């Protein structure tokens, strides 16, 4: 008896372990049902967290089914798994994926491997895509993907901080992102704030899970050197690091423990902050009258900022291309885009949607984002797609920050040491240095 029980126990344990660890189960069936009812497979690296996934399945896809009668199998997947699966399917010719959603960088790579259909001939009624996105989605004359959602990183200002603006800078300059709203003005402003309130009022998400590295490679580097990585060890870069060290005196020191700026803004620990829109959304939502979202400052080479674009693309030889196109049509409708912004905080890619946002916190956010995108001196940066090496890329910027700004090492020595490492990453991946 004991043996039987023991064995059964082990079996149950092993099975449980396998299920919990994800070895067994969870894989959704991909075969269409026996009737003519079509089910399309949509693999997405976006909207993967459980609550976002629930929004897609319970709201978006339900409504889509009501309208079109088409079932959608939404499969959240990591970038590396998606790339592996797409490669395998394209090589064997047995394509089961009808639609993929990924960031610009990933889709750019899939296109370079000739895994995507050209969407040039097709049109979508009643919407105008924002021209920047349209431009990036067309690669060598081929329409690679349809821009679906966007996100960016902005500055949030507690309205009280406008009382301490430096001479010559107006609230309007900051809100519109004029010529005068530059990094020197930010320094003066942060200095005024510290002197007036006795405490540093500028904050950055420099904690271990914070996104400070995006500020470094996508904002301040392009603003000072014109490029994200190309001029990493140039004299302009050294100047930039000296600037950042000076600015850091007016930055709340607890920044090195913050992963997202929403909370510190709400707690009143800082009045100025830079972060990803999703990570300051809660502050704006709780207190829409207290905060405004503004464009980032500019530097000598322009106003560097990152645009994150997620697009929808159809794999080459996908089995249900017409149905997939219907889903694309649904997902880029202005109403759907507003719904996406309201539920998961990604910004629309079609102009009509921006006008359709009801006033309130989201409007505050969207206005700031639009003002930033519309600045004439924009130097748009796309997050490089280095796959698994992406971590090493961002780590190099964080290391430079830590050594130069926090530990006070000589900037020239540090950038000369790290520059070749960063450039080597792009060479290894066979990509142009951005």
**Residues at the contact surface with another protein, assessed by CB under 8 A:** 1-4, 6-7, 9-10, 13-14, 17, 198-199, 206-208, 252-259, 267-269, 388, 391-392, 394-395, 402, 406
Least distance from C-beta 397 to another protein, angstroms?
12
**Which lies closer to another protein via its Cβ, residue 198 or residue 376?**
198
Query: Which letter, b or e, does each residue of 8-38 get, where b requires 16 or more Cβ atoms within 10 Å of its Cβ?
Result: eeeeeeeeeeeeeeeeeeeeeeeebeeeeeb
Least distance from C-beta 409 to another protein, angstroms?
12
Q: How far are the Cα atoms of 196, 274, 367 from residue 400, in angstroms, in the given order?
A: 31, 19, 33
Least distance from C-beta 82 to another protein, angstroms?
16
Least distance from C-beta 283 to another protein, angstroms?
15
Give 309-356 as a 3 state SS string.
EEEEECECCCCCHHHHHHHHHHHCCHHHHHHHHHHHCCECCEHHHHHH
- 228 contacts: CB under 8 Å, gap ≥ 6: 217, 218, 221, 222, 381, 384, 434
Least distance from C-beta 200 to another protein, angstroms?
9
Least distance from C-beta 253 to another protein, angstroms?
3
**Which lies closer to another protein via its Cβ, residue 41 or residue 256?**
256
Write the DSSP symbol of residue 161: G
Element (H, E) at 270: none
**Which lies closer to another protein via its Cβ, residue 74 or residue 241?**
241
Tally: H helices and E strands in the chain: 19, 11
Q: Using CA atoms, how far apart are residues 134 and 111, in angstroms rounded to an integer?
A: 16
**Which lies closer to another protein via its Cβ, residue 9 or residue 360?**
9
Length of the chain equals 434
Least distance from C-beta 255 to another protein, angstroms?
7
Token pair for residue 14?
Answer: 């092993």
**Which lies closer to another protein via its Cβ, residue 256 or residue 354?**
256
**Which lies closer to another protein via its Cβ, residue 10 or residue 19?**
10
**Which lies closer to another protein via its Cβ, residue 200 or residue 295?**
200
Least distance from C-beta 169 to another protein, angstroms?
27
**Which lies closer to another protein via its Cβ, residue 33 or residue 257?**
257
**Which lies closer to another protein via its Cβ, residue 395 or residue 412?**
395
Residue 179 class from Cβ within 10 Å (0-12 exposed, 13-18 middle, 19+ buried)? exposed
Q: Using CA atoms, how far apart are residues 140 and 161, in angstroms rounded to an integer?
A: 46
**Which lies closer to another protein via its Cβ, residue 377 or residue 395?**
395
**Which lies closer to another protein via its Cβ, residue 205 or residue 334?**
205
Least distance from C-beta 49 to another protein, angstroms?
15
Least distance from C-beta 264 to another protein, angstroms?
9
Residue 228 class from Cβ within 10 Å (0-12 exposed, 13-18 middle, 19+ buried)? buried
Q: Using CA atoms, how far apart are residues 275 and 212, in angstroms rounded to an integer?
A: 8
Q: Which residues are bridge partners to 75 per DSSP? A: 43
CB–CB of 213/398 below 8 Å?
yes
Least distance from C-beta 25 to another protein, angstroms?
17
Give 23-92 as a 3 state SS string.
CCCCCCCCCCCCCCCCEEEEEECCCCCHHHHHHHHHHHHHHHHHHHCCEEEEEECCHHHHHHHHHHHHHH
End-to-end C-alpha distance for the chain, whole angstroms: 68
- Measured over the CA atoms of residue 262, residue 264, residue 266 and residue 271, the dihedral's sign is negative
């Amino acid at each position: 008896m004991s043996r039987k029980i023991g064995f059964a126990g082990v079996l149950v344990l092993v099975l449980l372990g396998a299920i919990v660890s994800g070895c067994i189960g969870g894989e959704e069936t991909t075969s269409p049902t026996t009737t003519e009812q079509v089910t399309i497979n949509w693999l997405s690296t976006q909207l993967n967290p459980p609550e976002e996934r629930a929004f897609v399945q319970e709201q978006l896809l339900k409504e889509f089914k009501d309208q079109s009668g088409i079932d959608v199998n939404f499969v959240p997947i990591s970038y590396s798994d998606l790339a592996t699966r797409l490669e395998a399917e394209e090589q064997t010719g047995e394509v089961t994926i009808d639609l993929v959603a990924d960031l610009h960088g990933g889709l750019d790579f899939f296109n370079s491997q000739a895994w995507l259909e050209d969407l040039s001939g097709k049109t979508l009624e009643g919407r105008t895509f924002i021209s920047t996105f349209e431009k990036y989605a067309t690669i060598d004359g081929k329409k690679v993907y349809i821009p679906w959602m966007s996100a960016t990183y902005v500055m949030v200002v507690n309205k009280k901080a406008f009382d301490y603006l430096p001479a010559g800078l107006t609230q309007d300059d900051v809100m519109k992102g004029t010529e005068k709203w530059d990094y020197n003005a930010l320094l003066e402003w942060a200095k005024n704030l510290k002197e007036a309130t006795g405490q540093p009022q500028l904050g950055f998400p420099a904690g271990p899970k914070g996104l400070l590295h995006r500020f470094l490679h996508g904002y301040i580097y392009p603003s000072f050197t014109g490029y994200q990585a190309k001029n990493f060890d140039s004299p302009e870069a050294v100047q930039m690091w000296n600037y950042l060290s000076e600015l850091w005196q007016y930055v709340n020191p607890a920044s090195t423990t913050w992963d997202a700026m929403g909370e510190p803004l709400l707690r009143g620990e800082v009045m100025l902050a830079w972060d990803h829109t999703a990570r300051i959304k809660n502050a704006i939502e709780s207190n829409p009258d207290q905060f405004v979202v503004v464009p980032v400052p500019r530097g000598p080479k322009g106003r560097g900022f990152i645009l994150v674009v997620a697009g929808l693309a159809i794999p080459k030889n996908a089995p249900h291309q017409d149905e997939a196109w219907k889903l694309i049509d649904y997902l880029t409708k202005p109403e759907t885009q507003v719904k996406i912004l309201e539920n998961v905080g990604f910004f629309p890619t079609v102009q009509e949607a921006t006008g359709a946002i009801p006033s309130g916190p989201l409007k505050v956010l969207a206005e700031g984002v639009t003002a930033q995108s519309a600045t004439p001196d924009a130097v748009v940066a796309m997050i490089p797609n280095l796959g698994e090496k992406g971590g090493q890329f961002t780590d190099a910027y964080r290391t430079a920050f830590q050594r130069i700004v926090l530990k006070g090492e000589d900037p020239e020595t540090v950038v000369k040491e790290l520059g070749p490492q960063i450039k080597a990453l792009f060479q290894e991946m066979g990509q142009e240095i951005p």
